[in-house]
Structure 1
């Protein structure tokens, strides 16, 4: 159910400094890397970008049968994972605890069973099948050992880091650019963004915009904001909502990772600002399935973290903001 992101960049027109820009495809989506002048060739920067994508794919791509995560999903309990897998695993544990289980990288088996996965083939969910899926779901059923191997209580438990791997990759690219001497840059992968410094063309903070979900064709902005030394991630389904024929209510299909139940959610999108993109990415995913009042309370309790929700009723779109959103 992830990920319809509607963020784009608003740049100034004052041509005070050259902006280098790299664009392409990675992780099944688009990416953009923009930065001010540095004493490193664009070819070298592109080589670094490509190398980082290769490393992350070989570690965490569920689409590559020989990646580390695919081997673990196939039952390899002796494989020693790399530092990237370790960082994402540890962040998953942190967010799983903070969200009381609403963020769970083992929920993919339920997603596929309901037909919401890549193959779009729903299964017949008998009580026996549901019991089995529930028995293999839960982040507490997975452990990273001191030796760097992954232990699963049940060999069938399926790990999927798609909900935060893009955010982690954005953070990794940010570190890479900083090591190359960049201080002003904007990195985006599939709508997950890190901004550092200022826009070199305008000498102002980087500006981004979020689409209005009421607009199906011509884009109209519902929120604009500035980012400086921050990250933002958005999770959403608001181009996939359905309308109840009886009540007229807009809703999207979501899955409760606590019990595997499919339910109608009126949360169309959730955007999270945090100090790093992996954290923002994971929380944005959790906010799509958490009860709204519970998610607002949680965000308000987190340091350096803000959120923005778009929800739907019968004919109206409602917006909710945490207290420090874009201040």
Structure 2
């Protein structure tokens, strides 16, 4: 459920800072755009040596993330997600192209992660007060929701040729663990189509970069330490033509009967994740995949998460333990940073 463990870039959005761009520019002009989306903001820093219609580009960037939100938001009654959840089990629903792409990737990562990433957690998310229906936990709904989900991601069948999807069981689908990442990928699509090669884009804390800054330096990303008491940078690394996303259990919490619970659901129990892993950051080729894998590894926990990442060649940064006794585990690219 990426984005709650924020990372920081060049002073364009609240909680985002770290791109050292105060050095002289080399014939390229720096641009910074941002706007509202998915309950947070998108942001884009880019450089170009040619004239640009910034107003039109800003409109295109906003439209790109709005389209993702309009199709995948559980808060919008006309979204493809809500319509799929309302369609009778076993009945095909024609879905938009972007929605289909995210469904397909969610199914793939759900299967590859042995169900740790799972679309079928919508009922649990709502019951625990993190969904659109209530902002407080509902004990009776929690009792009903406390059941294992489809652990292979097979709660929905999607036919990419026909462009139709159908639920195979009476579950509620949720795409919040992957949609922001796809929104970032769509921002990249807009900039690529405009011929812009050097950029860093983000939706909340999910990011993707291309090229470098005019001075030849890479984009520098800072990862926030998972600490509810203060905001400080715990790790810095270069992001070169890749995407990064994170998921954590120390923000977006609810309290029920004296126990603090996080927003990320464990599909095997229908309850919030309960392990000793505070946060995970993942680097991948695209942000949709980084987003989903960050959620999956957080669900796996402090033992199985790092082991799975190492075995399957994932680049991940794990923060394990409480705030007073915390350790860091790195795999893949992070071993070089």
- Fold-level match, TM-score > 0.5? yes
Q: Secondary structure at the match of 2:208?
A: strand
* TM-aligned CA distance change 1:137 to 1:297, over 3 Å: closer
* TM-aligned CA distance change 1:283 to 1:55, over 3 Å: same
Match in the other structure for 2:13: none
1:319 to 321, 328, 331: 328
* TM-aligned CA distance change 1:58 to 1:220, over 3 Å: closer
Equivalent pair of 2:35/2:41 in contact (CA under 8 Å): yes
Counting only pairs closer than 5 Å after superposition, residues 1-327 of structure 1 correspond to structure 2 as 3-9=3-9, 10=18, 11-16=20-25, 17-37=28-48, 38-75=50-87, 77-118=91-132, 119-125=134-140, 129-130=144-145, 134=148, 139-145=153-159, 146-154=161-169, 156-200=170-214, 202-214=215-227, 216-217=229-230, 219-239=231-251, 255-262=265-272, 264-303=274-313, 305-313=314-322, 315-325=324-334, 327=336
Matched positions, count: 316
State how far apart, in whole Å, the 2-side matches of 1:283 and 1:216 are. 27
State how far apart, in whole Å, the 1-side matches of 2:234 and 2:254 are. 20
C-alpha displacement of 1:5: 2.5
C-alpha displacement of 1:29: 0.6
Equivalent pair of 2:200/2:210 in contact (CA under 8 Å): yes
* TM-aligned CA distance change 1:138 to 1:318, over 3 Å: same
State how far apart, in whole Å, the 1-side matches of 2:77 and 2:38 are. 15
Q: Give unmatched runs, 5+ long, in structure 2.
A: 10-17
C-alpha displacement of 1:138: 6.5
C-alpha displacement of 1:251: 8.4
* TM-aligned CA distance change 1:256 to 1:135, over 3 Å: closer
Equivalent pair of 2:3/2:206 in contact (CA under 8 Å): no
Equivalent pair of 1:251/1:312 in contact (CA under 8 Å): no
State how far apart, in whole Å, the 2-side matches of 1:49 and 1:198 are. 20
**TM-score, normalised with respect to structure 2:** 0.84
State how far apart, in whole Å, the 1-side matches of 2:288 and 2:54 are. 26
Q: Secondary structure at the match of 2:77?
A: coil
How far does the alpha carbon of each residue in 1:14-45 deviate from its partner, in whole angstroms, 9 at most, with x for none?
12132111012111111111111144310111
State how far apart, in whole Å, the 1-side matches of 2:323 and 2:31 are. 45
C-alpha displacement of 1:280: 0.3
State how far apart, in whole Å, the 2-side matches of 1:28 and 1:127 are. 25
Is 205-214 or 270-279 further displaced after alignment? 205-214
State how far apart, in whole Å, the 2-side matches of 1:283 and 1:160 are. 15
State how far apart, in whole Å, the 2-side matches of 1:318 and 1:129 are. 36
C-alpha displacement of 1:291: 2.9
* TM-aligned CA distance change 1:127 to 1:66, over 3 Å: closer
Equivalent pair of 2:40/2:203 in contact (CA under 8 Å): yes
C-alpha displacement of 1:68: 1.3
* TM-aligned CA distance change 1:294 to 1:137, over 3 Å: closer
